[in-house]
Chain A
Amino acid sequence: MVLVLVIGDMHIPYRSSKIPPKFKKLLVPGKIQHILCTGNLCLRETHDYLKSISSDVHVVRGDFDLNTNYPEQKVLTVGQFKIGLIHGHQVVPWGDSDAIAAVRRQLDVDVMVSGHTHKLEAYEKDGNFYINPGSVTGAYSPLDKNPIPAFILMDIQSSTLVTYVYSLPPNGEMEVKKIEFKKGEKSED
């Protein structure tokens, strides 16, 4: 069992004051093997916080990550899954699934992780898996009227990927949804 935290678009301090305490309580150090951060932290403090949760933290550059050296994109392998990571402001049109599929093709990954839209998504398309952890702080987005604070936890066991989608809707009660994805034969897309 390998736990991968997928999280991003915190936008602290410009659009949000803090990560929701209910989330922080769950993000206990030592339990998570890898962290994939879609970017737009925007403070080094936030990066340090992620490093306190897990020693293996991958961050890609968001449009508001100024004065940083984060790469535009990243590819890594966990278990049998090749995972791609990009913030998403580079992908035009924003939020377009065909456009993000093109990035997936370029990186040739099984799982494509992107952010920027603050829209929580986890769907399968043509045999590949697309994940958007939304904004963990529910920060303002011009593309979404009322973003909900969210993050995603992936549990990878050889060829099975189980995603746990955590969100905090306005009524304050945390919701968790489970979606399973099996890496079948690599279908031609």
Chain B
Amino acid sequence: RINLRMDVDQSRYLDAAKDAVKREAFNMQRSLDKGLLMDGLRHATEMLNELRTSILTPKNYYELYMMVTMELTHLNMYMSAEFIKENKIADLYELVQHAGNILPRLYLLITVGVVYIRSEECSRKDILQDLVEMCRGVQHPLRGLFLRNFLLTSTRDVLPDFDTKTAEEGSIDDSINFILLNFSEMNKLWVRMQHQGHTRDRSKREQERLELKLLVGTNLERLSRLEGVTVERYEKQILPAVLKQLVNCKDSIAQEYLMDCIIQVFPDEFHLRTLENTFLDTCCQPQSQVNVRNIIISIIGRLSNFAQADPANIPNEIKLFDIFSIKVTQIIQSRSEMPSEDIIALQSALMKLALNVYPTEVGYVNQVLQNTLIIFQNEESRANGCSGELSKLLRVPIDHYQDILIVLHLSAYPKLLRFLELCTRKELCMYIAEHIIETDTLIYSHDQVDQLLTLVECLVADCAEKPVSNIEDPDDFDCQQALVGRLVHQMTSQVPDQQFLILNTCKKHLVVGGNRRIRFTLPSLIFKAVSLCQTYHEVHEEDDKWEKKVTKILQYITSLLSALIKAEYWELSLRLYLQAALVCDAMGVSNAEAMGYEFISHAFAIYEEEVCDSKAQLMAISLIIATFEKTTNFCEENHEPLRSQCFRASSKLLKKPDQCRAVSLCAHLYWSGKNKEEGGNQLQNSTKVLECLKKAVRISNQCMEPTVQVQLFIELLNKYVYFLGNGCEEVSESVLSQLVGKIKEDLPGLESGDITRQIVNHFGTTLGFLEHHHELLF
């Protein structure tokens, strides 16, 4: 028969074959209805001849096969009905052996054979043996596979099981042998398909083989359904025979599918029993193309589920993790060609086993990481190209434990992290950081902080890496660093001394991050330090060393600020100096006061030397004044120069309106400002307040722009109103009336427009306030 599969129109051929089958089946039925057995058999044979084709693809052959075998059930029923009555089955069995071609002959023989067995007139065992042997007559792979499948399905209900009573009926062992023989013959046929035809058609052939795999696997499934198959029988008879067939056939498709089949159809207890010595050993042997990875992952997964369903399922002597761990290492070592994704997939399966089945054994998880690490350390090239998979593996413990502190205990973790490509490494570190923040995990000891910052070292400092493949997007970089800045707040201890150790550890790691990083990270440390000072102050009665400790913290803050200054972050540093000054003031002790004075001086220095933009200058001096106003513990010796400095700086601003506003702010320093000498009371120096405000008025007189001038007057009027309301005696009615008069004079002359409207309105609300609250009518 010439293999014309490629050229023949499959569907046309199939339709023709199906028509023939229908026709012959109809005729067969008609003959049987009339009681004409020989005619019936002849038509059956004709029908079965259609199955002798070589032309159909497996899918189409299957369709034909299903049709034919369904018709055969009619024959079966007829025979069962007619011949059992008359005890002539033996004759019939003899009769059908004379059919012409072997294929129809064997189908008929099987059909009759099953009826014969059911009649119980024969030795079941002998018939079954007969049938399974005789099928050897068909060596064509496709036809042979379907024939033997027919054998298996037909004998489904007649195989002897554990409860058969007589020797003639056969025993469970006979069934096992029957099926095993059928299985190995089918496997041989199946494997033979691999080598038929041209090499160029190989992938098509493999695809067709996969379509047929169920036929072979059904043998194993049938075996598993025999009630009498105990774990001993499985261990001693079945598994060795199946594995021998798998190993000897040297075919990777068969090995992979059938090993998986074994795992799926037999119960977990059987697998446990045969795991170490039989099953896994065989896994190590098969040809290196076999995807042993999927098989191992499959069996690990199954036994994992089994263990989780009920821990008592696993006997204590069976150390599942150790067994698999050792075997996986052996397998990986013996296959130098194994791709990295496969290595990691295996480790991942082991890790999940450890986490799910032995949740308290953190050491197991570390062992998995350690084993992976050793593989990569021995052969660095194996780590290439698998960053994605490795990253997924490293996420598993984080997601599982939900507590990063446990992950920090895994000694192999940071070392394995280094094998990730830099950008993947950073992503994972960000994942870790985000996880800590989202779950609100607190890192409460400086050792843990040290470990954590070492773990995420690629984020906090530049790596001495081989050339980076792409320039990092600046926005992404900023996001990363903001994340580190946020992470700092999770490193917190309620114990102040421990908190200081934490701050020092953080500084060690973060201060070397480089200019682009410290802008995001050091301020967080400064604020935590500032908070810590307050904490020490709150509990100062319990700790007689508190002043020294606060001094050390302030020195710590100073060093961080120096780093920011060196990196030229002027605006940021100015603000941070002011924040630090406030906390110094709150300490209420003299060495803190000295440092507070230093801090404000630094702020002034930055203001004078580095803030150049006039708008920024006004903002900065306003901030200094506002901050200074809040201090309460400077002695007059310190307070006075700072007051003067504020005033001087305000007067020296470039633009008149800015000068005016800043000077008017200084008035507050003389009123609500506090120093040590006043002992908690406000200075309330009315004279000085008026001096400031009068100066401000004089400055606004020098403004050239009328609208701006009037606006400033009204703002100053409101300043007067403020101090009036707070009891400043020198704000007299005449002072007010003078200013009000000036405003009233100038208002009409302003150009109409939105701003003028607003100014007029502002004046109105101010006058209204004066009338309502101070009964002053202007």
Report which A residues bind B (CB closer than 8 A). Answer: 12-18, 21, 43, 45, 63-64, 66, 89-90, 92-94, 96, 98-99, 102, 105-106, 108, 126, 140, 142-143, 145, 187-189
Q: Tell yes or no: B78 within 8 A of A by CB.
A: no
The reply to whether A18 and B715 form a contact with Cβ atoms under 8 Å apart is no
Q: Tell yes or no: B722 within 8 A of A by CB.
A: yes
The reply to whether B765 and A105 form a contact with Cβ atoms under 8 Å apart is yes
Answer whether A188 and B768 are a contact pair too, CB < 8 Å, given A92-B629, A93-B630, A99-B722. Answer: yes
Determine the distance from Cα of A63 to Cα of B527 in the docked complex, in whole angstroms.
15
- When distances are taken between beta carbons in the complex, the residues of chain B under 8 Å from A188 are 768-769, 771-772
Q: Tell yes or no: B300 within 8 A of A by CB.
A: no
Answer whether A189 and B765 are a contact pair too, CB < 8 Å, given A93-B626, A145-B534. Answer: yes
Q: Tell yes or no: B725 within 8 A of A by CB.
A: yes
The reply to whether A45 and B482 form a contact with Cβ atoms under 8 Å apart is yes
The reply to whether B582 and A142 form a contact with Cβ atoms under 8 Å apart is yes
Determine the distance from Cα of A94 to Cα of B530 in the docked complex, in whole angstroms.
20
A-B contact pairs, 28 of them (CB 8 A): A12-B482, A13-B483, A14-B485, A14-B527, A15-B524, A17-B486, A18-B437, A18-B486, A45-B479, A90-B622, A90-B626, A92-B626, A92-B668, A93-B629, A93-B630, A98-B722, A99-B722, A102-B722, A108-B758, A142-B530, A142-B579, A142-B582, A142-B586, A143-B630, A145-B534, A145-B538, A187-B772, A188-B771
Question: What 0/1 pattern do residues 720 to 742 of B give for CB contact below 8 A with A?
Answer: 01100110000000000000000
Known interface pairs A92-B622, A188-B769; 20 further A-B residue pairs with C-beta atoms within 8 A, sorted by A's residue number: A13-B483, A13-B486, A13-B488, A13-B489, A15-B527, A17-B489, A90-B622, A92-B625, A94-B626, A94-B629, A98-B726, A105-B762, A108-B761, A140-B527, A140-B531, A142-B582, A142-B583, A142-B586, A187-B772, A188-B768
The reply to whether A98 and B626 form a contact with Cβ atoms under 8 Å apart is no
Give the Cβ gap from B27 to chain A, nearest Cβ, in Å. 74
Minimum-distance CB pairs A-B, first 4: A13-B485, A17-B486, A142-B582, A17-B489
The reply to whether B630 and A89 form a contact with Cβ atoms under 8 Å apart is no
Give the Cβ gap from B613 to chain A, nearest Cβ, in Å. 13
Closest to B723 in A: A98
- When distances are taken between beta carbons in the complex, the residues of chain B under 8 Å from A142 are 530, 579, 582-583, 586, 630
Q: Tell yes or no: B329 within 8 A of A by CB.
A: no
- When distances are taken between beta carbons in the complex, the residues of chain A under 8 Å from B438 are 18, 21
- When distances are taken between beta carbons in the complex, the residues of chain B under 8 Å from A96 are 672
- When distances are taken between beta carbons in the complex, the residues of chain B under 8 Å from A143 are 630
Determine the distance from Cα of A187 to Cα of B437 in the docked complex, in whole angstroms.
49
Q: Tell yes or no: B718 within 8 A of A by CB.
A: yes
The reply to whether A189 and B773 form a contact with Cβ atoms under 8 Å apart is yes
Q: Tell yes or no: B623 within 8 A of A by CB.
A: yes
Report which B residues bind A (CB closer than 8 A). Answer: 437-438, 479, 482-483, 485-490, 520, 523-524, 527, 530-531, 534, 538, 571-572, 575, 579, 582-583, 586, 622-623, 625-626, 629-630, 665, 668, 672, 715, 718-719, 721-722, 725-726, 758, 761-762, 765-766, 768-769, 771-773
The reply to whether A17 and B626 form a contact with Cβ atoms under 8 Å apart is no
Closest to A96 in B: B672
Determine the distance from Cα of A187 to Cα of B771 in the docked complex, in whole angstroms.
12
The reply to whether B582 and A93 form a contact with Cβ atoms under 8 Å apart is no
Closest to A139 in B: B527
- When distances are taken between beta carbons in the complex, the residues of chain A under 8 Å from B622 are 90, 92
- When distances are taken between beta carbons in the complex, the residues of chain A under 8 Å from B437 are 17-18
Determine the distance from Cα of A45 to Cα of B538 in the docked complex, in whole angstroms.
35
Give the Cβ gap from B626 to chain A, nearest Cβ, in Å. 5
- When distances are taken between beta carbons in the complex, the residues of chain A under 8 Å from B721 are 102
Closest to A142 in B: B582
Which of A64, A93, A140, A187 is close to B575, meaning CB atoms less than 8 Å apart?
Answer: A64
The reply to whether B772 and A189 form a contact with Cβ atoms under 8 Å apart is yes
Which of B571, B582, B725 is close to A66, meaning CB atoms less than 8 Å apart?
Answer: B571
Give the Cβ gap from A63 to chain B, nearest Cβ, in Å. 6
Chain B CB within 10 A, most for which of A89, A92, A126: A92
Answer whether A43 and B773 are a contact pair too, CB < 8 Å, given A99-B722, A140-B527. Answer: no
- When distances are taken between beta carbons in the complex, the residues of chain A under 8 Å from B625 are 92
Which of B530, B572, B586, B762 is close to A140, meaning CB atoms less than 8 Å apart?
Answer: B530
Chain B CB within 10 A, most for which of A45, A126, A188: A188
Determine the distance from Cα of A99 to Cα of B524 in the docked complex, in whole angstroms.
31
The reply to whether A98 and B575 form a contact with Cβ atoms under 8 Å apart is no
The reply to whether A17 and B523 form a contact with Cβ atoms under 8 Å apart is no
The reply to whether A106 and B772 form a contact with Cβ atoms under 8 Å apart is no
Give the Cβ gap from B379 to chain A, nearest Cβ, in Å. 41
Which of A13, A45, A187 is close to B524, meaning CB atoms less than 8 Å apart?
Answer: A13
Give the Cβ gap from B299 to chain A, nearest Cβ, in Å. 41
Determine the distance from Cα of A13 to Cα of B523 in the docked complex, in whole angstroms.
9
The reply to whether B668 and A93 form a contact with Cβ atoms under 8 Å apart is yes
Determine the distance from Cα of A157 to Cα of B479 in the docked complex, in whole angstroms.
40
Which of B487, B665, B718 is close to A17, meaning CB atoms less than 8 Å apart?
Answer: B487
The reply to whether A89 and B626 form a contact with Cβ atoms under 8 Å apart is yes
Give the Cβ gap from A129 to chain B, nearest Cβ, in Å. 15
Determine the distance from Cα of A94 to Cα of B668 in the docked complex, in whole angstroms.
11
Which of B490, B527, B626, B766 is close to A105, meaning CB atoms less than 8 Å apart?
Answer: B766
Which of A13, A106, A145 is close to B715, meaning CB atoms less than 8 Å apart?
Answer: A106
The reply to whether B672 and A43 form a contact with Cβ atoms under 8 Å apart is no
Determine the distance from Cα of A90 to Cα of B627 in the docked complex, in whole angstroms.
10
Chain B CB within 10 A, most for which of A16, A108, A140: A140
Determine the distance from Cα of A145 to Cα of B582 in the docked complex, in whole angstroms.
13
Determine the distance from Cα of A66 to Cα of B625 in the docked complex, in whole angstroms.
19
Closest to A99 in B: B722
- When distances are taken between beta carbons in the complex, the residues of chain A under 8 Å from B579 are 142
Determine the distance from Cα of A141 to Cα of B773 in the docked complex, in whole angstroms.
33
- When distances are taken between beta carbons in the complex, the residues of chain A under 8 Å from B626 are 89-90, 92-94
